[in-house]
Amino acid sequence: MSETAAERAAALDARDELAPVREKFVLDGCVYLDGNSLGALPRQVPGRVADVIAHEWGELRIRSWEEAGWWAAPERVGDRIAPLLGAAPGQVVVGDSTSVNIFKAVVGAVRMAGAGRDEILADEASFPTDGYIAESAARMTGCTLRALPAERIPDEAGPRTALALINHVDYRTGRLNDLPGLTAALHEAGALAVWDLCHSAGALPVRLDAHGVDLAVGCTYKYLNGGPGAPAYLYVREELQACFDSPLPGWNSHAVPFGMDAAYAPADGITRGRVGTPDILSMLALETALEVWDGVRIEAVRDKSLALGDFFLECVEASVPEGRVRCVTPREHRLRGSQVALSCADAGKVMTELIHRGVIGDFRHPDVLRFGFTPLYTSFADVARAARVLAEVLE
Ligand SMILES: Cc1ncc(COP(=O)(O)O)c(C=O)c1O
Ligand SMILES: Nc1c(O)cccc1C(=O)C[C@H](N)C(=O)O
């Protein structure tokens, strides 16, 4: 079997249009399938960060806010991410963590929703931070919070619903939620759709503008390879920006930040999603990391992601002893993100052993082995090797 799988992998790699992109990353002899938690390092980043430190900080110092473009970086890098989200320019701003942006988006959406809308719906399978922040935002705004399965939202959204906060891809199972359908159902109910794109941005086409998404957030350290703690982003649809009333109106979001006025006046446009001084070193590392996307079609990324997942599942089925793992990721393409999650007895110990043997995935409580596929650098050979090593560990 392993020879056949290796041969098939070689044939698939040989006709992969994204194969050359792998060379743009620093990788070692391991099979790295944890890019859905921390993306690999793009080769260009260390040199750029060294230059920012030595030249822009070391020599230009304070002048860099203007001369090196530091001040405008949150909007500029936002515009660099926007095409990957299917967003026209001027709607994405980079900064803060995803958790902080969830807070801005949820409170901002409640404030936009208007009188009588005092209920927040939240996808119950969300990454925990989404639920924690939504709960606090609900308490602060006098709303009630109702957690429910995402697919119940069309039936449950009603005249009191201000918004629903939904994860595009479930971090644990890899299930892809129906962004167009759920957004349309929320609009039908007069509510706003707020999406967390952490596990979809850079892995599949999102098409925020085309589907009329209201607000969205996401991190940049997974499929966008921005690095540990890289700043997150906030999307506010252009038509809503004039009524976006940020709950964190820091001076960077002021219409005249250097006017130092005691009274707050929000900037126009997506700039009002900013808060305080941006983390420039991380922001510029991210900007450089995004260069790996030059010339890459997100549709090609999606096709390869699904092919990698299909191939992994085939190899696992052919080689892992029957009954040792159960796939908790939907097989259907329309329901799948860019990872495969396998439920397995002693999953924590199994993952430790996989990592010891050079296959890096991760373990999620209580029994899930997660394998993330980053089409820019994951090869079919990686996937065949991961399945083979998994079979060896489980034998
Ligand atoms: C879906 C989702 N939302 C939010 C977060 C947390 O984001 P942050 O640590 O940037 O606040 C993560 C992962 O860490 C996540 O997977
Ligand atoms: N953000 C992380 C971190 O700071 C440390 C370890 C892991 C993470 C993650 O991103 C976890 C990830 N969101 C997940 O899907 O589980």
Claim to verify: residue 258 and residue 315 sit in the same structural domain = no
Which CATH number does the domain housing residue 366 bear? Answer: 3.90.1150.10
Asked if residue 30 is part of any domain, the answer here is no
The answer on pLDDT for 35 being more than 90 is: yes
Q: Is 29 within a domain?
A: no
One domain for residues 235 and 316: no
Strand partners of residue 215: 194, 236
| Residue 128 annotated as lining a ligand binding site | yes
- Distance between first and last Cα of the chain: 15
Per-residue model confidence (pLDDT) at position 229: 97
Please identify, among 260, 293, 326, the residue that sits at the C-terminal boundary of a domain. 293
Same domain as 103, residue 184: yes
Same-domain pairing of 304 and 282: no
Q: Which of 233, 263, 293 is the last residue of a domain?
A: 293
Which tens digit of pLDDT belongs to each residue from 308-336? 999 999 999 999 999 999 999 999 999 99
Q: Which domain holds residue 248?
A: 50-293
Whether residue 99 is annotated as binding a ligand: the answer is: yes
Domain-located, residue 42: no
Q: Which amino acid is at 222?
A: K
Residues 142, 111 contacting (CB under 8 angstroms): no
Query: Which ligand approaches the C-alpha of residue 200 most closely?
Result: 1
Average pLDDT estimate for 93-106: 98
Pair of tokens at residue 248 = 């964190």
- Interval between CA 111 and ligand 1 midpoint (Å): 23
Q: Give the pair of three-digit tokens for residue 152.
A: 């119940």
| Ligand 2 atom 2, closest CA | 37
- Cα–chain center distance at 392: 32
Q: Say if residues 13 and 21 touch (Cβ distance below 8 Å).
A: no
127 Cβ inside 6 Å of ligand 2: yes
Structure token pair of residue 383: 């996937």
Was 374 annotated as part of a binding site? no
Q: Which pLDDT belongs to residue 3?
A: 65
Residue 7 CA to residue 163 CA, distance in Å, equals: 49
Q: Please indicate, yes or no, whether residues 166 and 260 belong to a single structural domain of this protein.
A: yes
Pair 378, 250 in one domain: no
State the CB neighbour count (10 A cutoff) for residue 381: 16
Confidence of residue 1 (pLDDT cuts 50, 70, 90): very low
Measured in angstroms, how far is the CA atom of residue 4 from the centroid of ligand 2?
Answer: 35
For residue 129, report the distance from its CA to the centre of ligand 2, in Å: 11
What CATH number is associated with residue 187?
3.40.640.10
Q: Which ligand is nearest to the CA of 232?
A: 1
- For residue 315, give every residue at least 6 positions away whose Cβ sits within 8 Å of its Cβ, in sequence order, or none: 5, 383, 384, 387, 388
Q: Is the pLDDT of residue 260 over 90?
A: yes
Question: Which ipTM value was assigned to this complex?
Answer: 0.96
Percentage of the chain beyond pLDDT 90 is: 98
Interval between CA 37 and ligand 2 midpoint (Å): 5
- Mean pLDDT, the chain, whole residue set: 97
| Residue 221 annotated among the catalytic residues of the structure | yes
What atom in ligand 2 is closest to the CA of residue 37? 10
Using an 8 Å Cβ cutoff, are 197 and 170 in contact? no
HEC readout, the chain: CHHHHHHHHHHHHHCCCCHHHHHHEECCCCEECCCCCCCCEECHHHHHHHHHHHHHHHHHHHHHHHHCCCCCHHHHHHHHHHHHHCCCCCCEEECCCHHHHHHHHHHHHHHHHCCCCCEEEEECCCCHHHHHHHHHHHHHHCCEEEEECHHHHHHHCCCCEEEEEEECECCCCCEECCHHHHHHHHHHCCCEEEEECCCCCCCCCCCCCCCCCCEEEECCCCCCCCCCCCCCEEEECHHHHHHCCCCCCCHHHECCHHHCCCCCCECCHHHHHCCCCCCHHHHHHHHHHHHHHCCCCHHHHHHHHHHHHHHHHHHHHHHCCCCCEEECCCCCHHHECCEEEEEECCHHHHHHHHHHCCEECEEECCCEEEEECCCCCCCHHHHHHHHHHHHHHHC
Note whether 135 and 264 are same-domain residues. yes
Ligand 2 contact via 37 beta carbon (within 6 Å): yes
In a domain, 188, yes or no: yes
With a Cβ cut-off of 6 Å, ligand 1 is lined by: 97-99, 127, 129-130, 167, 171, 196, 198-199, 219, 232
* 222 counts as catalytic: yes
pLDDT of res. 114 = 85
* In a shared domain, residues 111 and 136: yes
| pTM strictly above 0.90 | yes
Q: Is residue 71 part of a domain?
A: yes
Contact 351, 315 (CB under 8 A): no
191 shares its domain with 322: no
Residue 43 lies in a domain: no
If one counts the domains in the chain, the total is: 2
359 and 307 in a single domain? The answer is yes
Q: For residue 83, what are its two tokens?
A: 């095409």
**Cβ atoms of 88 and 209 closer than 8 Å:** yes
99 in contact with ligand 2, CB cutoff 6 A = no
Is a pLDDT exceeding 60 seen at residue 162? Answer: yes
In a domain, 33, yes or no: no
**Are 179 and 308 members of one domain?**
no
Instruction: Name the catalytic one among 96, 196, 214, 367.
Output: 196
Residues 179 and 270 in one domain: yes
pLDDT at position 218 over 90:
yes
Q: Flag whether 378 is in a domain.
A: yes
Digit-coded pLDDT (tens) for 228-248: 999 999 999 999 999 999 999
Domain-terminating residue out of 255, 271, 293: 293
